[in-house]
Amino acid sequence: MVSADFFALDEWMRSLTTHAGATSKAYLGDLEQFLEFASDKGLTKPSEVTRATLREFLSEQAQKGLARATLARRAASLRSYFDWARRRGLVELDPAKRLSAPSGDGRLPVVVAASDLIEILDGLHEQTQQKQEQEQEHGHQGDVGLACIRRDLAVVELLYGCGLRVGELCGIRASSLDFTSRTVRVLGKGSKERILPLHDGVVEAIEQWMRFGWEFLASSSTPRDVIFLNRRGGPLGPRDVRRILDLRFPTPVHPHALRHSFATHLLDGGVDLRLVQELLGHSSLETTQIYTHVSKERLAEVYRTAHPRA
């Protein structure tokens, strides 16, 4: 993550003398979220941030299903910080001037249709098979291209199959997986650990990647316990995962959309809300209840589309 020192967050926080303590704390949390986003974009100081960067950040936050009020506060936090940064001389022009939250209710998360996800996963399976047959015809055991397809298939299967946050997926190590019990142990927000079941498709995809793909991307310095690797042989990061989804999906899909899809599809299938809460690692049932609204909206849309009198 970007060092907060370059952004002088402590100094900015001390300047918030007119705000209540809770508001200042919320503003700091908003800026820390932004710094994580900036780090993924390779930005290291305030002067590198543009208005387009801020709009992309807020748009991504909206895709995660944040409440409209939360989005509005994040925009206000950014306006407060960059106005201060301009006066402090950290930026020449204020990129957040008159910045507002994205239009729309900012409430319901983006959900990928189950049929679309199945088509994408089936397509990756077919690509793997075709590429493998081509390699065998030429007497090869595989290459980096085939390894990346195997890795990407395992990443998508795991994100959607377990409803993981992208950070949870990137943090998975060899000791996290138990193929005997078909489970994965992940560390969520607040360092809360949970153990999730793996279905057959996820297990097969991970095993194929680890057995026939991992070595093609690994280097001499690659830690042996890291499961997912980028092309440089390093641990896969959130930005790498976004690139994978950009490559494999016909339209841009944020990794969090697969988590939303996991939850919504389970509820559509009749799974109890409290079980979905446990699988997602939500501390509050209210957080999980957003998916019941998604399902109701989808039900209403199906009704409006299908009923002759609707």
The residues carrying an active-site annotation are: 165, 189, 256, 259, 282, 291
Task: Look at residues 171, 198, 213, 176 and name the one whose alpha carbon lies nearest to residue 279.
Answer: 198
Q: Which two tokens stand for residue 132?
A: 């493998």
Q: Which two tokens stand for residue 137?
A: 């015809």
Q: What is the dihedral of CA 186, 192, 193, 194, to 10 degrees?
A: -90
CA 93 – CA 206 distance, rounded (Å): 47
Q: Are 214 and 234 in contact (CB under 8 A)?
A: no
Cβ-proximal residues to 49 (8 Å cutoff; 6+ apart), any chain = 38, 43, 82, 91, 95
Q: Are 150 and 215 in contact (CB under 8 A)?
A: no
Question: Scanning the structure block, which residue is given the tokens 């900015």?
Answer: 12
